[in-house]
Amino acid sequence: MATQQPKASGAELIARTLHHLGVTVLFGIVGIPVVEIADACQAQGIRFIAFRNEQSAAYAASVHGYLSGQPGVCLTVGGPGVVHGLAGLLNAQLNCWPLVLLAGSCDTDQIDMGAFQELDQVQVCRPYCKYAARPASVDKIPFVIEKALRTAAAGRPGPTYVDLPADYIQYAIQNPAAIVPLLPTQTTLAPKAQADPQAIIQAASWLRQARRPLIVIGKGAAYARAENELRQWVDKLGVPFLPTPMGKGVLPDEHDLCVSPARSKALKEADVVVLVGARLNWILHYGASPRWSNNVKYIHLDVHYEELGNNGALTLALAGDLRLTLQQLLTHATTTNLDPAYRQGLQAKAKANMAKTLTLGQQGDDHAILNYHTAFTVIKNILPRQGIVYVSEGANTMDIGRSYFDVQHPRQRLDAGTGATMGVGMGYAIAAQLYYPDHRVVSIVGDSAFGFSAMELETAIRSQLPLLIIVINNNGIYHGLDDQDYESSRHNQTLPATSLSPETRYDMIAQACGGKGWLVRNRIELAKALQESLAQPKETCVINVLIAPGGRKKLSFGWMNAAQKPKL
Ligand code: ADP
Ligand code: MG
């Protein structure tokens, strides 16, 4: 009796291509027509993390790309699934992280007929992607997936999109042996280039003459894994450095030359600034006065040519890979003409600001209602100094928290990033806990930010990821309302747009999903909950920290600090 040839499907071709290209984890949500893809990936040994909303799945995949240096891959259904996933594409584009979105789409012979979840997804995704395509035929699937992965990681990293019609996924491959020759030849991912040697000489000369140099370390340096070269260069030059929010940890915050606590003074005084994987966008006040000196000059290291010279600042462009460029710089610069008063001034200011923070954290007695400072001080004192990966989001929670939690290792602090995207925290925490199985991921998040994706707690618990989530709960966006004001405003139907229900039991969501939860109101309760959750390294924990609603101090500069415009 003739034996029947085993058949394979388009789904298997997709899974084998991903496996062949080194993909080990897939983030997503299944439904028609992509269930078979997830099944086939699992059969290949690829882990599938099943989320509750595609937004979080795409955020998780993008942060996996940032942490691992290999594109994260997300799988969604078409139509609404892709629209939810767009949030992740935009966020990855803004942060320059490699992400590949794979989505199912309607059968090719039903296009324009009002098919199930029909959407022109290639068109919809294209503005947020470096590459977006539907394979021309089933046998072109490996070609397009390889191109999407390679493009996501090449040059400035970013998102790509691959459209997978239902009839391709279900296509019956009569001769599975024919799959092997279709699998792509592996090319070198993300080729690297050095900077122009003339520009390196010029940079060394600018630095030799600088009196008040400053090195700004961005998340591009973290992504480029430039920590060793940067460490050597900083130590050799003895120049103060300032990390951006996600550049924290590339060099340890406790390094002598770190001037984070004197940030405003450093920006204002610096005469030559080296930007290492950081852009002159809103996070760095566009590189313009009044936050920066009028005469500041920038030496900008970046892989993306078009970024260099942006925002009109006087810039020496070092286009190339950060590690290679820093290696080039290391062979040149040996001395600087640094003004000792500048360095001492920054160190004194940093010391004074740290003392101020310490005082703020001691306010009130042990039973007093908490605020940001007292809560963060308790958390800081109890968390171990090693083995923690921080995730942070929420406006005030993130801004104020940044100065409390020192980071000593690269890529161990994630926050709302370039997009100031709230709701990323759960996806980021899940991806980070997968990437760092021997660390504890601690998310310190505002109540509003947490609410965007709180249902992903169930994802974390089901996936056995022992996140520790600390919700700083002030009953709202920014400042919140206290119970009495809430009740009277609600009675009069005048609730401010920023208010959320007082004392929402976020801790009980964790309990409802099979995790642990605590509600705490003061230092003693917070300390106890922290100790108990740290003692349970396998449990997903939520500590709901009630803090006093209220304002925050007025900034001495406008928040965005847009460049001063001359009057027309
Ligand atoms: P931050 O928010 O920390 O200031 P940004 O996201 O603004 O950082 O900037 C990161 C920059 O790093 C981007 O402009 C990106 O092009 C660049 N970058 C990423 N990877 C590399 C690399 N390997 N070499 C050089 N530059 C890189
Ligand atoms: Mg809040």
Ligand 1, atom 4: closest residue by C-alpha: 278
pLDDT average, residue stretch 341-360? 95
Q: With a cut of 50, say whether residue 552 has pLDDT above it.
A: no
Tell me what pLDDT residue 333 has. 64
- Regarding whether 228 and 334 lie in a shared domain, the answer is yes
Domain total for the chain?
3
Tell me what pLDDT residue 553 has. 46
d(CA 498, CA 512): 27
Q: Does residue 23 belong to any structural domain of this protein?
A: yes
- Regarding whether 514 and 366 lie in a shared domain, the answer is yes
d(CA 117, CA 131): 22
For residue 372, report the distance from its CA to the centre of ligand 2, in Å: 10
| Global pTM value | 0.96
Strands 8-9 and 172-173: antiparallel
Residues with CB under 6 A from ligand 1: 95-96, 156, 218-220, 223-224, 244, 246-247, 277-279, 281, 283, 302-304, 307, 321-322, 418
pLDDT tens-place string over residues 448-491:
999 999 999 999 999 999 999 999 999 999 888 888 888 888 88
Q: How far is CA 230 from the centre of its chain?
A: 21
- Regarding whether 14 and 134 lie in a shared domain, the answer is yes
Q: Does residue 314 belong to any structural domain of this protein?
A: yes
pLDDT tens-place string over residues 423-436:
999 999 999 999 99
- Regarding whether 494 and 428 lie in a shared domain, the answer is yes
pLDDT average, residue stretch 79-94? 98
CATH number at residue 412: 3.40.50.970
- Selection from 406, 322, 342 nearest residue 96 by Cα: 322
Tell me what pLDDT residue 4 has. 59
pLDDT average, residue stretch 519-527? 97
The answer to which of 49-53, 485-489, 531-535 has the lowest mean pLDDT is 485-489
- Regarding whether 161 and 268 lie in a shared domain, the answer is no
For residue 300, report the distance from its CA to the centre of ligand 1, in Å: 10
Report the nearest atom of ligand 1 relative to the CA of 94: 6
Structural domain ending residue among the three candidates 304, 324, 349? 349
- Regarding whether 237 and 147 lie in a shared domain, the answer is no
- Regarding whether 399 and 338 lie in a shared domain, the answer is no
Q: How confident is the model at residue 346 (pLDDT cuts 50, 70, 90)?
A: very high
pLDDT tens-place string over residues 411-421:
999 999 999 99
Q: Does residue 354 belong to any structural domain of this protein?
A: no
Structural domain ending residue among the three candidates 157, 182, 207? 182
Q: Does residue 167 belong to any structural domain of this protein?
A: yes
Contact in structure between 437 and 465 (CB atoms under 8 Å): no
Tell me what pLDDT residue 549 has. 87
Ligand nearest to the CA of 480: 2
For residue 95, report the distance from its CA to the centre of ligand 1, in Å: 8
Q: Does residue 542 belong to any structural domain of this protein?
A: yes
Range(s) of the domain holding residue 257: 197-349
Tell me what pLDDT residue 3 has. 54
Ligand 1, atom 8: closest residue by C-alpha: 278
Tell me what pLDDT residue 481 has. 83
pLDDT tens-place string over residues 372-392:
999 999 999 999 999 999 999
- Regarding whether 238 and 118 lie in a shared domain, the answer is no
pLDDT average, residue stretch 172-198? 90
Report the nearest atom of ligand 1 relative to the CA of 418: 2
Q: ipTM score here?
A: 0.97
Q: Does residue 121 belong to any structural domain of this protein?
A: yes
pLDDT average, residue stretch 20-45? 98
Tell me what pLDDT residue 555 has. 46
The b/e string for 531-557 (b: 16+ C-beta within 10 A; e otherwise) is eebbeeeebbbbbbbbbbbeeeeeeee
For residue 446, report the distance from its CA to the centre of ligand 2, in Å: 5
172-177's contacts with Cβ under 8 Å and 24+ in sequence apart are 172/7, 172/8, 172/9, 173/7, 173/8, 173/9, 173/10, 173/12, 173/13, 173/138, 174/5, 174/7, 175/5, 176/5, 176/6, 176/7, 176/8, 176/12
Task: Write the burial class of residue 353 (CB in 10 Å: 0-12 exposed, 13-18 middle, 19+ buried).
Answer: middle
Contact in structure between 44 and 18 (CB atoms under 8 Å): yes
Ligand 1, atom 6: closest residue by C-alpha: 95
- Regarding whether 248 and 108 lie in a shared domain, the answer is no
Task: Write the burial class of residue 335 (CB in 10 Å: 0-12 exposed, 13-18 middle, 19+ buried).
Answer: exposed
For residue 421, report the distance from its CA to the centre of ligand 1, in Å: 18
For residue 425, report the distance from its CA to the centre of ligand 2, in Å: 14
- Regarding whether 532 and 391 lie in a shared domain, the answer is yes
Ligand 1, atom 9: closest residue by C-alpha: 278
- Regarding whether 405 and 325 lie in a shared domain, the answer is no
User: Rounded mean pLDDT of the chain?
Assistant: 94
Tell me what pLDDT residue 559 has. 47
Tell me what pLDDT residue 1 has. 47
- Regarding whether 320 and 404 lie in a shared domain, the answer is no
Q: Does residue 341 belong to any structural domain of this protein?
A: yes
CATH number at residue 239: 3.40.50.1220
Q: Does residue 85 belong to any structural domain of this protein?
A: yes
CA dihedral 74, 79, 84, 85 (to 10 degrees): 30
pLDDT tens-place string over residues 101-130:
999 999 999 999 999 999 999 999 999 999
The proportion of the chain whose per-residue pLDDT surpasses 70, expressed as a percent, equals 95
Q: With a cut of 80, say whether residue 557 has pLDDT above it.
A: no
d(CA 372, CA 473): 10
Tell me what pLDDT residue 567 has. 65
CA dihedral 365, 371, 377, 383 (to 10 degrees): 110
Strands 213-217 and 172-173: unpaired
Ligand nearest to the CA of 154: 1
